[in-house]
Structure 1
Amino acid sequence: MTNHPHPSSAALEKLSAAPAAELRETLLEICSSPGWAASVAAARPWSDRDALLAANAAAMAALTAEDLADAMAGHARIGKPRTGDATSEREQAGIRGVDSALLDELHRANAAYEAKFGHVFLICATGRTAATMLASLRERFPNDAATEAEIVRGELRKINDIRINRLLDED
C-alpha cells in the first residue's frame, strides 16, 4: 500500500498543518479509536506519505484492547455496509450483487464469530469478494482470542493504510 511514486505533498502538508481539533476529526474518520488518532497526531509533522503510514503502523502496534474495541466499533459488519456511508459501501463493494444464499451464509458465520469473540469480524474487505471474505471468516473462526486480536490489528492497519492513501490522493 505504500507504492505511491508521487507523494501528495500538498495534501500531506495540509494535514500536518491542520488545527488539532480538525486533524483529530479527520483521523477519527480513518480509524475510530481516539488512542490511535492521538498517537498518529503526535507523530506530526510527517515528512512524507511513508512517515504517515509508519505512524499508523506504530499507533496500531501500540493499541490496547480497549483501543482495538474502539477501532472495531467504527466498522460495519461484513455483508452489511452502513447505508449512506460511502466508505463502508466502497470497502464492501465485493458483496454487491451476491446471491442471497451466500449473503445468508455470511450473516450466519458473522453471528457465530461475534458470539465467540464479542466483536464484528474485521477484514480488509477492499478488493475481496463475498466468497473470499466468508472463507477467511471460516478460516479464522477456530483462532483463540489473542491470535484473533493480532490478526484484527493487522487488518485494521491495512484498512487505515488504504484510507490514508485515499485521503492523500483525493486532494
Structure 2
Amino acid sequence: MTSSSSLPGLARFNALDERAATTLLREACASAEWGRRLLAARPYATTDDLVRANDAAMAELNVADLQEAMSGHPPIGRPRPGDPASAREQRGMAGASDELKAEMLELNLAYQERFGHVFLICATGLTGEQMRDAVRERIGNSPDREREIVRTELGRINRIRLTRLAEEDAPA
C-alpha cells in the first residue's frame, strides 16, 4: 500500500474543499449519492482505501442513483467531445470499421429501448468486437440482472478513474 503522502493526486484530493472535491468526483461518477459517500469517508490513506470506499458506495446505490450514474456515460462508440476519459476508455472503438460502428449504434439503440439507459461496460482494454459481443449477450438479460451487471461495470469504471485521480501528478 502506498500512503497518500507519496501519491500527489490522493493528497490533493484529500486537501480539496468540499465543493472542489465534489466537482472532481462528479467527473468520475455522476451519482450525487456515490459522491457524498466518498466525501464522507475522506481523508484516504491509500488508493486501496479510496477503491474500497467506491465499492461500498456502489453496493448501496438504489435504482435512481444508478440511473444518475449512468447518465454521465455516453453511448459506446460515441465518446463526448472534449471528454478525455470516455475517449480513452472507448479507445477500442476508435479504429472500428464503419460496419461495426453502425452495428454498435443499432445495438445501443435496441439496448436503450429495452432497458431505458445506455449500454454500459467497462470498455478499457476491450476491442470494438468485444464490446459488440457484450451488448449482444446482455440485451437478453432481465432488467434486474442487467441492473446488477451495470452496477458492477460502473464500479469497475470508477475504480479505474479513482486510481488515476489518486496517482496523477498534475491536477485533474
Match of 1:45 in 2: 43
Q: CA deviation at 1:80?
A: 0.8
Q: CA deviation at 1:25?
A: 0.6
Partner secondary structure for residue 90 of structure 1:
helix
Match of 1:134 in 2: 132
TM-score (norm 2): 0.93
Match of 1:67 in 2: 65
For residues 156 and 112 of structure 1, the distance between their equivalents in structure 2, rounded to whole angstroms, comes to 20
Match of 2:77 in 1: 79
Number of residues of Structure 1 aligned to a counterpart in Structure 2: 167
Backbone CA RMSD of aligned residues: 1.2
Q: CA deviation at 1:10?
A: 3.3
Q: Give the ranges of 4+ consecutive aligned residues of structure 1 lying more than 2 Å apart after TM superposition.
A: 5-11
Match of 2:17 in 1: 19
CA contact under 8 A between 2:7 and 2:167: conserved in structure 1?
no
Q: CA deviation at 1:6?
A: 4.6
> After superposition, where does 1:124-163 map in structure 2 within 5 Å?
124-163=122-161
> Deviations for 1:118-154, whole angstroms, at most 9, x for unmatched residues?
0000000111111000000011111101100000000
Quick one: which amino acid aligns to residue 58 of structure 2?
A: M
Identity percentage over the alignment? 46
Gaps of 5+ in 1: none
Match of 2:89 in 1: 91
Gaps of 5+ in 2: none
> Deviations for 1:86-142, whole angstroms, at most 9, x for unmatched residues?
111111110112111111111111111000000000000111111000000011111
Match of 2:52 in 1: 54
Quick one: which amino acid aligns to residue 36 of structure 1?
A: W
TM-score (norm 1): 0.94
> Deviations for 1:4-48, whole angstroms, at most 9, x for unmatched residues?
x65543322221121111111111110011010001111111121
